[in-house]
Amino acid sequence: MFGSGAVTLMLVAYALEERSASWVLIFALACGASALYAGLAGTWPFAFVEGVWSWVAFRRWRRRLRARR
């Protein structure tokens, strides 16, 4: 349930990213949750890729916040 929920939230947040910076942050957190789940499941390549996506999305969120100022 945890992994399915994380991936579903990733998909929804990705689709809504253009609406606000909050969705970018939600996407970053959902990627982090997916990476955690993949790590716990022992699928390390997937955990690594999702961790990178989380980091990239978090940086995009910070950039969008700075652009607002």
Dist. CA 32–CA 44, nearest whole Å:
13
Number of domains into which the chain is organized: 1
pLDDT tens column, 3-29: 899 999 999 999 999 999 999 999 999
Residue ranges making up the domain that contains 28: 2-68
User: Per-residue pLDDT for 68 more than 90?
Assistant: no
Tell me if the pTM is above 0.75. yes
Q: Supply 57's token pair.
A: 């999305």
Rounded Cα distance, 33 and 30, in Å = 5
Tokens of 24: 């970018």
